[in-house]
Amino acid sequence: MATEKILVVDDDTNICELLRLYLEKEGFSVVIANDGMAAIQAFQDAKPDLVLLDIMLPKLDGWQVCREIRKSSDKPIIMLTAKGETFDKVLGLELGADDYVTKPFDTKEVVARVKAVLRRTSGINGRDSVKEVHYDKLIINLTNYELRVNGEKIDTPPKEMELIYHLASNPNRVFTRDQLLDEVWGFDYYGDSRTVDVHVKRLREKLEGVSDKWELKTVWSVGYKFETKD
């Protein structure tokens, strides 16, 4: 069961209680705030693992709350809003939001998004720890977005870094292309599975033949995995 703490921020008390019900059922603990000022205070006091943040709030809107949280913390934020315009989505991402859900939403979908974002952002000691995995002749550091092969730093675009880190953090687990699009690209990515194939191809060009103890492997008709060998 989950043990993480979720801060739910919305001026609609019915929405807050509905989200509380579903989140607590999944084992999360929930703190609620109904305006922007209360949200910032609750974040400082409760130290939640994730924030569900409505945009249209009294006192301070969600954009301002997001800005304040990002001044001191990298904890994940999922924006909740009745607005679906591209401008709102882009602004939320630029301010540091991790995901975006448009109202009216299915509560089960919100809970699924919470779990997905926490999976993407959690490290061994939480989001604020160094995100780094080590294998023979390979170091993947997502905190600094550095890929080192045989001790040499290899220039790697951010999305390739996120993809190889995600795979290598879950060795021998097979991911479908759709899972990778959701868990690495996120934000309801409007692409297709060929996007994953292209990024894997580029990574293979950097990693092929480096070590016989691991391999970025295709699982035919399914997807990809980072396979480790004894």
Instruction: Determine the Cα–Cα distance for residues 90 and 84; give it in Å rounded to an integer.
Output: 10
Higher pLDDT pick, 191 / 120: 120
| Residues 119/173, Cβ–Cβ less than 8 Å | no
| Residues 93/104, Cβ–Cβ less than 8 Å | no
- Mean pLDDT of the residues in the chain: 85
17 pLDDT more than 90: yes
Give the largest Cα separation in the chain, rounded: 58
* All domains of the chain in start order, with CATH: 5-121 (3.40.50.2300), 132-228 (1.10.10.10)
Residue 164: which residues within 8 A CB-CB, separation 6 or more?
140, 147, 156, 203, 207, 216, 226
Average pLDDT over residues 167-182: 91
pLDDT in tens, 77-108: 998 877 655 556 666 666 778 777 888 888 88
pLDDT in tens, 23-71: 999 899 999 999 999 999 999 999 999 999 998 899 999 989 999 998 8
| pLDDT for the residue 36 | 96
